């Protein structure tokens, strides 16, 4: 019998409507990355949950990527037992993890991919990154760590300076860890490789938001997902005043607003297809009609 992992502190949960949103943070990080977005979505009536994931989040033992997916599935199932609709939202490698989760739980309402990362190919990534796959099989495996440096995923200079000071004092900040181990990066690469081959099977409504100047994962990541995912309803938004951490950077309000609108539209459209009469504003009804006409 598989032993259940221990309960973790630091998770974020804001109760709201019967539409819950599972929010997955970036690699070796914490739910702090999702706090602003979770609060905004909750203010719009949605239930939001940003958990710590055993084996994936900072402060937990580093496990293989299969354990990350299993932890995400457990969180999804726990929400599904309480709420009739559950959507999934992921940031950075959390977006890639969200795609892997949707493969296991296709009943999810919708998926929101923020700075999706299938490859660390942004302009600030070190030139030697292609050697890390080889280094994993050497003694460097347990010694080398990738250290975060300015701009820390932030175009906003004031916030960047604040995060820089925080990372000097602590191993973790509100926009991620100060360093990531080589084994974690290796498992992230394995996760991305597994997701690439199964995108066509994912049919859920999908929202992609990506910064055109993302220094960690270039827009090619979002473009690859958009070109290969099987979603009938797909919306892609590119930002021009942010870097990788779009839930915290200059356009975080745009990210929050567009995410809320998309999830509500997905819910309303699904309810209408099921025969129920959703309560929607005139503006939302107009946008739904526009979406339907585009799909014809």
Please compute Rg for the chain using Cα positions: 19
**% helix, strand, coil for the chain, step of 5:** 45, 15, 40
Calculate what percentage of the chain has a pLDDT beyond 70: 77
Residue 296: pLDDT over 50: no
pLDDT of residue 276: 43
DSSP-based three-state secondary structure for 242: coil
In total, the chain counts a number of residues equal to 296
CATH number, domain with residue 156: 3.40.50.1820
Mean pLDDT of the 251-267 span = 96
Number of domains the chain is built from: 1
Residue 96: pLDDT over 90: yes
Tell me, yes or no, whether 6 lies in a domain: no
Give the pLDDT band (50/70/90) at residue 22: very high
Lowest mean pLDDT among 22-31, 94-103, 145-154, 199-208: 145-154
**Cβ contact 266:84 at 8 Å:** no
pLDDT of residue 271: 77
pLDDT of residue 161: 82
Tell me, yes or no, whether 84 lies in a domain: yes
Range of the domain at 209: 12-295
Residue 284: pLDDT over 60: no
Tell me, yes or no, whether 183 lies in a domain: yes
**Cβ contact 265:110 at 8 Å:** no
Mean pLDDT of the 102-113 span = 97
How far is 89 from 99, CA to CA, in rounded Å? 9
Helix axes 65-80, 93-104, angle to 10 degrees: 60
Tell me, yes or no, whether 5 lies in a domain: no
pLDDT of residue 175: 55
How far is 84 from 225, CA to CA, in rounded Å? 27
Tell me, yes or no, whether 4 lies in a domain: no
Tell me, yes or no, whether 1 lies in a domain: no
What sign has the CA pseudo-torsion 87, 273, 42, 230? positive
pLDDT of residue 275: 42
Mean pLDDT of the 73-79 span = 97
pLDDT of residue 179: 61
Give the pLDDT band (50/70/90) at residue 132: low
pLDDT in tens, 214-240: 999 999 999 999 999 999 999 999 999
pLDDT of residue 280: 45
Give the pLDDT band (50/70/90) at residue 151: confident
pLDDT in tens, 167-215: 666 665 565 565 678 888 999 999 999 999 999 999 999 999 999 999 9
Tell me, yes or no, whether 134 lies in a domain: yes
pLDDT of residue 100: 98
Q: Which residue has the tokens 């585009």?
A: 294
Q: Which of 209, 206, 227 has the alpha carbon at shortest distance from 217?
A: 209
pLDDT of residue 57: 93
How far is 94 from 223, CA to CA, in rounded Å? 17
Calculate what percentage of the chain has a pLDDT beyond 90: 63
Q: Which residue has the tokens 């999810």?
A: 108
Give the pLDDT band (50/70/90) at residue 254: very high
- DSSP sequence for 34-79: GHHHHHHHHHTT-EEEE---TTTSTTS----HHHHHHHHHHHHHHH
pLDDT of residue 3: 45
Tell me, yes or no, whether 71 lies in a domain: yes
Mean pLDDT of the 89-107 span = 97
**Cβ contact 288:268 at 8 Å:** yes
């Amino acid at each position: 019998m598989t032993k259940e992992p221990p309960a973790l502190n630091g998770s974020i949960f804001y109760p709201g409507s019967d539409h819950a949103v599972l929010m997955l943070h970036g690699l070796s990080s914490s739910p702090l990355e999702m706090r602003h977005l979770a609060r905004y979505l909750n203010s719009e009536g949605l239930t939001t949950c940003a958990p710590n994931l055993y084996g994936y989040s900072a402060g937990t033992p580093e496990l293989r990527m299969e354990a990350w997916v299993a932890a995400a599935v457990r969180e999804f199932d726990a929400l599904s037992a309480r709420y009739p609709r559950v959507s999934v939202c992921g940031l950075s490698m959390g977006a890639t993890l969200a795609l892997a989760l949707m493969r296991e739980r296709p009943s999810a309402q919708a998926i929101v991919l923020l700075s999706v990362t299938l490859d660390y190919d942004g302009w600030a990534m070190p030139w030697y990154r292609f050697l890390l796959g080889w280094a994993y099989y050497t003694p460097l495996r347990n010694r080398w760590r990738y250290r975060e440096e300015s701009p820390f995923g932030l175009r906003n200079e004031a916030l960047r300076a604040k995060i820089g000071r925080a990372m000097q004092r602590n191993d973790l900040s509100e926009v991620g860890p100060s360093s990531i181990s080589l084994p974690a990066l290796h498992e992230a690469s394995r996760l991305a490789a597994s997701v690439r081959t199964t995108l066509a099977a994912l049919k859920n409504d999908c929202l992609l938001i990506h910064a055109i100047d993302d220094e960690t994962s270039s827009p090619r990541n979002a473009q690859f997902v958009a070109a290969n995912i099987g979603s009938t309803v797909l919306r892609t938004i590119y930002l021009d005043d942010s870097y990788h951490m779009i839930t915290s950077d200059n356009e975080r309000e745009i990210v929050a607003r567009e995410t809320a609108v998309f999830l509500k539209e997905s819910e309303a459209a699904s309810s209408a297809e099921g025969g129920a009469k959703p309560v929607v504003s005139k503006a939302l009804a107009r946008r739904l009609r526009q979406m339907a006409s585009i799909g014809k």
